[in-house]
Amino acid sequence: MKRYILLLYVVLVSLLMSAQVNFQFCDGIYNESLKSHVERNVSLLLSEINKAEANHRQLNLTNIDIDKMAASGLKSLWTNIHFRCKFNNNVQSCIKDFTGYEIRKIYVEMKPIDNTYKGEIHKELTISFNKEGVITGVRTAMDDKSYAALLEGSNSNIDLRMRRELLNFVEDFRSYYVEKNIKALDEIFNNDALIITGRVIQTLGKSNVDGVSQKVKEKVVFSKQNKRQYIENLGKLFMTNEFINVDFSEIELMRHGSNPNIYGVRLRQKWNSQQYNGRQYSDDGYVFLLWDFQKEGSPKIHVRTWTPKRTNQTKDDFSPEDFFIPNN
């Protein structure tokens, strides 16, 4: 009996140790007080993620210094899918951005709650924090290879700092849909934004001879919306969908030829969602975003378009010069 209790104790200690995750900076942050606070805070966060995943429970962020919006977004993401930090010890650089700091390359393994998840299993987390060390965002990121390729891209009229900032906002933008964060989406769109959405509708073709269904036909229905209409429709969509998975790829960054504050982002978007009644929807298309960075750290999207992916199509043809944005 004593031997059994001792064995059980060893197993429990082993499980607790495996859930404990440590984080340290290797460079990029030189305020010792801030550095120490963030290292402890991120270590607590990653440990809690692993503990919650191991015990199949919700996250408890009570003892973590994280703002309300970041906590809400992370909990929304956790509702859709669980994940765990792959390594017990993580050492990464601190990256300075427009308004705060960021940590990249926290490697995680996605742990789908059911068989509806269609995304990548191995991903990375980005964690942002402000000058007080408060965590302001925890999101899954594009893979490091794609991110590095975009930072080192050949577009010479976009400097490295601005490319990094654009990619950060693109990652955040994608996460807002996954998190069903309607407040963040409401804030990031300009009040006069032009928004073109599309939806793929499938119908069954009929044989002229025997009336038997032959194949599925697809029809794309487009809709032009203003910001108010788009946000209202998104709110209804978020309420009726159990989860939304959005993946971005083939990202291209562009700068306006005459307005240095206007940038275009072209990307391929794969959308998968499931309503609470079990009905699923998916589409594959190209999104073009016209982004205004006149207010540093608080950009606004003036244009969002969507076109479906067609056979042999590699991208859409939009560019920043196709749209007029007045200077404030």
Find the radius of gyration of the CA atoms of the chain. Answer: 22
- Check residues 165 and 215 and name the one with the higher pLDDT: 165
16-20, 110-114, 134-138, 211-215: which is most confident: 134-138
CA distance 259 to 273: 37
CA 26 centroid distance within chain: 26
Q: Which of the four pLDDT bands, split at 50, 70 and 90, describes residue 63?
A: very high
Is the pLDDT at 184 greater than 80? The verdict is: yes
Is the pLDDT at 6 greater than 60? The verdict is: no
Phi and psi at residue 163, to the nearest 5°: -60, -45
For residues 203 and 217, is the Cβ–Cβ distance under 8 A?
yes
Strand 135-141 to 300-308 pairing = unpaired
Is the pLDDT at 51 greater than 90? The verdict is: yes
Is the pLDDT at 314 greater than 80? The verdict is: no
For residues 190 and 302, is the Cβ–Cβ distance under 8 A?
yes
Report domain extents, the chain. Answer: 19-141, 182-322
For residues 84 and 95, is the Cβ–Cβ distance under 8 A?
no
pLDDT tens digits, 246-300: 888 889 898 888 888 899 999 999 998 889 898 988 899 999 999 998 887 788 9
CA distance 174 to 180: 10
Q: Quick one: how many helices (H) and strands (E) in the chain?
A: 7, 13
Q: What is the pLDDT of residue 94?
A: 95
- Check residues 173 and 312 and name the one with the higher pLDDT: 173
Is the pLDDT at 159 greater than 70? The verdict is: yes
**Closest of 93, 114, 233 to residue 177, by C-alpha:** 233
**Closest of 319, 328, 248, 318 to residue 292, by C-alpha:** 328
CATH fold of 182-322? Nuclear Transport Factor 2; Chain: A, (3.10.450)
Mean pLDDT of the 156-162 span: 78
Q: Which of the four pLDDT bands, split at 50, 70 and 90, describes residue 204?
A: low
